Structure 1
Amino acid sequence: MSKLIYLDNAATTAVRPEVLDAMMPYLKEEYANPSSIYTFAQKSKKVVDESRRTIAELLGAKEREIYFTSGGSEGDNWALKGTAEALKAKGKHIITSKIEHHAILHTCEYLERQGYEVTYLDVDENGLVSPEAVEAAIRPDTILISIMFANNEIGTIEPIKEIGEIAKKHDIFFHTDAVQAFGHIAINVDEMHIDMLSASGHKFHGPKGIGFFYMRDTVKIGPLIHGGAQERSRRAGTHNVPGIVGIATAAKSAYEDLDQKMKQQAEIRDYAIDRILKEVPYCRLNGDRVKRLPNNINVCFRFVEGESMLIMLDQKGICGSSGSACTSGSLDPSHVLLAIGLPHEIAHGSLRMTLSEETTKEDMDYVVDNIKAIIERLRSMSPLYEDFVKKNK
């Protein structure tokens, strides 16, 4: 394979060179446990504190409100299970949406088996949650609203500030899964009235296995992981110092010249979308055209199976996906695409491409040219497409 174009950055990203350089001393020379009291451990403790401060500043949060975790799934579990346990005397009702990541949906299913009630809000054809629908779903026993910041499959950015204002007005905790958003768009937890937020380092060129959880001072929930007194006794486990340094370095790099990065990626994204929609018949863009992550393209092609398309793209050195990496191998169509109203037969023909800063216009020309050829070849073998063409002549 002479050419590789990686377009699955929503699944994971490459670790940046400066991130790896920052991590290396804490994998080699400075390997001490920051919880130890001797002098050798103090540098590790200091860099953990500095990393916490870096992320807090990027979010507009306080340093003590940042907790390091293993990733987004842990943060999502902590928000839901922690709130459910802490506020069960007040109520057992949670509000979320039908297009959340499975780290939220499966945790909600678990809580339902424990006697909690969950309202799963519908979304519109672009994947947007209505703030009015959120407010209408609130009950006297509602203890948590959890709506993702931006969808991992179709890239739609939700009206988080408006939902946060509603949660604050009703004195209900508001959590957002920002795994796809943090590092890609600006977030201020105070301006948006966010009480809890989950993020994962490997989604913005940091290492895998490290994330952070923002928890506002006023949120009093217990730990998800019990054990030692790390993270102010709220998240047990020896600190992953190299990972913590890595996620903070990646976060700082991600937010440098963010507006310019967003503009550049959005221009290449829109260029590719325009070419696909104009040059490939019987396809549709999924997700909101404007309220969209700058690097996300999600298109459905009628009369085509997504798996066959991905295999043929791979043969051309192009890495894409048909949805969330967490559901890879599933024969079921995306729950997100079904939630925005697509029938099964169209949802099965989805292609998600997520760009990075290194993706060029020339890369996307190569990709779109190959998509056109692959779709034409696959449709030429489809009796359904042949019948459709005959009927519409």
Structure 2
Amino acid sequence: MIYLDYQATTPMAPEVAAAMRPWLETHFGNPHSPHRIGREAAAAIEVAREHVLTALRSSREGRVFFTSGATEAANWALKGAAARLSAEKRKIVTLATEHACVLDTVEWLGTQGFEIDVPPVQPNGLVDLDLLASRVDARTGLVAAMLVNNEIGAIQPIAEVSAIARRRGALLFCDAVQGFGRVPVPLDACDMVALSSHKVHGPKGIGALWIRDGVAVDPLLHGGGQEGGIRSGTLSPALCVGFGEAARLLVEREGKDHAHVERLWTRALSLLSGWAVNGSAERRYHGNLNIRREGLDSDRMISEVRGVAFSAGSACASGSGRPSHVLAALGLDDRQARSSIRLGFGRYTTEEDMIHALTLIQEAADRQRSFAA
């Protein structure tokens, strides 16, 4: 099967699997134990942490805390920071196109006495900065904005969003899951950043939260306080090492990966006819191609083109029966949203596979159109 669903997850890099293997088999020590094999595991985790910091281009003004994934990182950042907000700063602002782990967490915070504001985005998926500036007011203590949208690839102007937040004395949380290793993460503009390993050819089950020095958050998990005293739970050396190796490869392969994605993007656009691109054509990550075609039934197409793995939107929302909230935020109606598909590609997608996959997709779309005529 040809895999074109890189926003849902990415194939594990062979180097990552090789790096993890000893820590799954023979190096089984608890990294929080004081004996030699425990200390060896702890040392391997610190090396992995350094690799993630290097890939982030961190200037040592913050720390990476390992988590079970980006969902935990987002929950921790938002709930932990919100718990520290003063009585005069209990407003939280986020965007209508954020990932469900952000929107649902913010909605829950609304039941805990916080004021919630979710401004819309423009038809291209980008926030109107003037509108945002009018919504981030003196009561705002926390702003959340995603770097690269997981469904449409739109790149939000995080530096400008941060400037708006900081003028009001608010913290900025950035979901950089889809941007990490693909576009520069504007770390100087952020106070907290969520990352995920399995989106960058690492293992599932591990992510990270970067927290700027001086930013205080309450723990989400209580217990042994293994991660800096504020994140409890025994870390998996294998998962941490895998994430670290994936991050190391991001740095090593940065130029090659970028050039490869650009070639695939250009090739894909040349092969598709009769499709419209959802979201900004200018400010977007080119490994995400979200497209729609009039009259198409995307669910039917996914079932028909069985030799290609692609999606109709976020894997987290699949099976809900509801059209994408992101496409709805762009102003697309249900019919347009249901005629949209998302193609994600990257490091291990060959041009030959891309051509074959898009040929199958184009033929299936043409068949649907001919049957509907």
TM-score, scaled to structure 1:
0.91
Is the Cα contact below 8 Å between 1:263 and 1:294 reproduced in 2? no
Which aligned segments of 4 or more residues in structure 1 are displaced greater than 6 angstroms? none
Shift of 1:188: 4.3
- 1:17-166 → structure 2 map (5 Å cutoff): 17-59=14-56, 60-62=58-60, 65-166=63-164
User: Which position in structure 1 is the counterpart of 2:329?
Assistant: 339
In the superposition, relative to structure 1, how do residues 160 and 188 fare at CA in structure 2: closer, same or farther (>3 Å)? closer
Distance 1:149 1:239 in 2: 27
Structure 1 position 269, deviation (Å): 1.2
In 1, Cα distance between equivalents of 2:38 and 2:288: 42
The answer to whether residue 279 in structure 2 is matched with residue 287 in structure 1 is yes
After superposition, what is the alpha-carbon deviation per residue over 1:178-229, rounded to whole angstroms, capped at 9, x for unaligned? 1111122222412xx1100001100010000000100111111111111112
Amino acid paired to 1:49: E
The Cα shift of 1:64 comes to: 5.9
Using the TM superposition, give the Cα deviation of residue 50 of structure 1 relative to its aligned residue in structure 2, in angstroms: 1.4
Q: Does 1:364 align with 2:354?
A: yes
- Which structure has the greater CA radius of gyration? 1
1:299 corresponds to: 291
Query: Secondary structure at the residue paired with 2:103?
Result: helix
Determine helix, strand or coil for the equivalent of 2:252: coil
Q: Secondary structure at the match of 1:255?
A: helix
Q: How much does 1:320 deviate? A: 0.2
Please list every run of 5 or more consecutive structure 1 residues that lacks an aligned counterpart in the other structure: 387-393
Q: Distance in 1 between matches of 2:94 and 2:208?
A: 21
1:52-104 deviations in Å (ceiling 9; x for gaps): 12212222142861100011111111111112111152322111100000001
Q: Distance in 1 between matches of 2:116 and 2:100?
A: 14
1:236 aligns with 2:236: no
1:263 is matched with which residue?
259
Distance, in Å, in 2 between the alignment partners of 1:364 and 1:39 is: 49
Q: 2:241 aligns with which of 231, 239, 245?
A: 245
Q: How many residues align?
A: 372
RMSD: 1.5
Q: Distance in 1 between matches of 2:86 and 2:9?
A: 36
Higher relative contact order (CA 8 A, sep 6+): 2
Query: Match for 1:180 among 178, 184, 188?
Result: 178
1:379 equivalent to 2:372? Answer: no
Q: 2:301 is matched by which residue type in structure 1?
A: M
| Percent of residue pairs identical | 37
Q: What residue identity is the alignment partner of 1:337?
A: L
Q: Distance in 2 between matches of 1:151 and 1:194?
A: 17
Q: Deviations over 1:28-59 (max 9, x none)?
A: 22111111111221111111111112212222
The separation in 2 between residues aligned to 1:330 and 1:302, in whole angstroms, is 23
Aligned residue identity for 2:119: L
Answering whether residue 205 of structure 2 is matched by residue 206 of structure 1, we say: no
Deviation at 1:271, TM superposition (A): 2.0
CA distance in 2, matches of 1:320, 1:332: 18
Q: Matched residue of 2:142: which SS? A: strand
> Quick one: structure 1 residues 58 and 368, their matched pair in 2 at CA, closer, same or farther if it must change by over 3 Å?
closer
Q: Give the partner amino acid of 2:315.
A: A
Deviates more, 1:128-137 or 1:6-15: 128-137
> SS where residue 231 of structure 1 aligns?
coil
Query: 1:15–1:207: 8 Å Cα contact kept in structure 2?
Result: yes
Q: Are the counterparts in 1 of residues 20 and 238 from structure 2 also a CA contact under 8 Å?
A: yes
The answer to whether the 8 A contact 1:56-1:63 is kept is: no
1:15 pairs with one of 7, 12, 15: 12
Cα gap change, 1:232 to 1:88, in 2 (>3 Å): same
The residue aligned with 1:226 is 222
| 1:208–1:242 distance in 2 versus 1, CA, 3 Å | same
Q: Is 1:8–1:353's contact at 8 Å kept on the other side of the alignment?
A: yes
Partner amino acid for 1:289?
Answer: A
* Among 180, 189, 192, the residue aligned to 1:196: 192
Q: Distance in 2 between the 1:381 and 1:199 partners?
A: 44
Query: Which shows bigger deviation, 286-295 or 197-206?
Result: 286-295
What are structure 2's unaligned runs of at least 5 residues?
Answer: none
Say whether the 8 Å CA contact 1:86–1:222 is kept in structure 2.
yes
More deviation, 31-40/61-70: 61-70
3-state SS of the aligned residue for 2:305? helix
